[in-house]
Structure 1
Amino acid sequence: MYDNVIAALTLINTVVFGVLAFRFNRKLEDQKYKISRKYKDFELYTVKRHETYPELFKLILITYNKASGSFSKSNSLHFEGYNTEDIKYYLEEQKIPIGKINEIVQMWDQSRELAILEIIKFEQLISVKDAWQSFTDAANYLYQNELYISDEVADHCRQIFFKLQNLNLNLKYPNPETVLEDSRLIVETRNALFELKNIMRQELSIAYNSED
């Protein structure tokens, strides 16, 4: 009878140990899965950030170049020596509407000075449109991908957008009184872009080292 009790206790211990071991292993596997899932999520997040930052910086840089470059565009000196065929080709390259091209070409031989003023005026309109479109593209990209962007980078981008918006407004509504402001905004925006690039580089470097 004693042997039967020992055998029964041994069986019970075996069953209990087996159940505990099963539960422990199950919890261990669940924990391993959660850790693996978190690592994969972090990896995907890091990859997405590595894709987002360069594209965001590129779009902001394009916006800055279009806004700042538009203030020095359209110098009449670069039309010296142009004949009607030259000016027509130039206007076609600028994607100016054909009706406007014909109007300017007819004006070219009659009053070159007026034709040049008309070209400069139309180029300015195109520059304003391109600058605002680039601004919109960059801002939309930030908002669409803000999930992968740190608060510091997002805040820095918004500060740059504020300066670029003012530049674009001054470009759209030129005023002699804003000349000094334009120069200041261009310098401040260029410096802010340099700071943004350093912040992005640092964050991408930290994320890369974290993967190791």
Structure 2
Amino acid sequence: MNFQIPIDWGSYFISIPLIVLTVWTGIKFFSKSYVNQQFNKLLETHKHELQMLMENNKFDLQRKMLDFNLFTTKKHEVYTNLYNLFLVAEGRARGIRGIGVDPFIRKYGRSEIEEYLKSLNMPSADIQSFVGNWTPENAPQIVDHIVDYLQKLEVRKAIECQQEAKNFSIYSGLYLSDNVAVISKELSKNLGSFCNDLNIIYNFNLLKSDRDSLAEEMRDKEKKIEELIASLKYEMQEELSIGYYKNPG
């Protein structure tokens, strides 16, 4: 005898949509989970990259700040030294004609002259060349030679100081602004010309008319040197003041 289980077609057709819905819900769930998982991984990757970028920028900023501080410190040092060298050179050059010779030197005896020259740090050989044959009779001529010697010595020192300032401005050019470099070059030029005039006056026998003409030219150069020193000081102060750190834009 054959028995057949009756099929409930109504339930069968109802269960199909439920199965499809269940499967679709599962697919949506796993798809959403997968997408979230991929998004989180991508987010972590971007967070890591952003962190690395921030660290690199922080290091770069610190390095630039250190470089700026080192450059600024060196710039202050260079400007201070350069200005001082130009002041010394100017003082040496312009102070020669008013060289400080003891006004009582012509009343000194041999031992007093010797001590005076030693106080000026004159080389021993030069001192002996002056006082070795000292006599009351030739004392006036010896004093004239001493004064002439001291003036020529000051001219040499002035030329050396001018060259020192010029050389320092050249090899420190990396730290000089364009304005300071231009002023320094012009100042070196005028100081050099002034020292050359001094060398001519004190080392060559000039006619009085030629000496007077050269002295007049030197007065004009002195005025120019004064103006350039003032310009150099002003420009350096401007650059090293708080305004120097402001963004020019």
The alignment's TM-score, normalised by the length of structure 1, stands at: 0.90
Match of 1:79 among 98, 105, 114: 105
Structure 1 residue 183 and structure 2 residue 219: aligned? Answer: yes
Q: Which has the higher helix share?
A: 1
Indicate the residue corresponding to 1:168 in structure 2.
195
Rate the CA distance shift 1:58–1:14 in 2: closer, same or farther, 3 A. same
Match of 1:37 among 52, 63, 66: 63
* CA distances 1:77-120 after superposition (whole Å, capped 9, x unpaired): 44132111111111112232323212322235231221122112
Give the unaligned 5+ runs of structure 1: none
Which amino acid in the other structure matches residue 139 of structure 1?
Answer: K
3-state SS in 2 of match to 1:110: coil
Match of 1:142 among 162, 169, 175: 169
Distance 1:59 1:162 in 2: 14
Indicate the residue corresponding to 2:88 in structure 1.
62
Q: Conserved in 1, the CA contact under 8 Å of 2:93 and 2:158? A: yes
Q: Conserved in 2, the CA contact under 8 Å of 1:108 and 1:115? A: no
Indicate the residue corresponding to 1:157 in structure 2.
184
RMSD of equivalent CA atoms: 2.1
Match of 1:195 among 231, 234, 247: 231
Q: Conserved in 1, the CA contact under 8 Å of 2:238 and 2:244? A: no
Indicate the residue corresponding to 2:10 in structure 1.
none
- Greater shift, 22-31 or 68-77, is seen at 68-77
3-state SS in 2 of match to 1:135: helix
Rate the CA distance shift 1:200–1:10 in 2: closer, same or farther, 3 A. same
Distance 2:243 2:71 in 1: 10
Which amino acid in the other structure matches residue 184 of structure 1?
Answer: D
Rate the CA distance shift 1:76–1:93 in 2: closer, same or farther, 3 A. closer
Which amino acid in the other structure matches residue 16 of structure 1?
Answer: L
- Greater shift, 51-60 or 101-110, is seen at 101-110
Match of 2:143 among 116, 138, 160: 116
Q: After superposition, where does 1:89-128 map in structure 2 within 5 Å?
A: 89-105=115-131, 106-128=133-155
> Which structure carries more relative contact order (alpha carbon 8 Å, separation 6+)?
1
Indicate the residue corresponding to 1:15 in structure 2.
41
Higher Cα Rg, which structure: 2
Distance 1:78 1:170 in 2: 29
Distance 2:242 2:223 in 1: 29
* CA distances 1:100-157 after superposition (whole Å, capped 9, x unpaired): 2123222352312211221122112211221122112212221222111111011101
Distance 1:108 1:33 in 2: 78
Which amino acid in the other structure matches residue 4 of structure 1?
Answer: F
The alignment's TM-score, normalised by the length of structure 2, stands at: 0.78
Q: Conserved in 2, the CA contact under 8 Å of 1:74 and 1:120? A: no
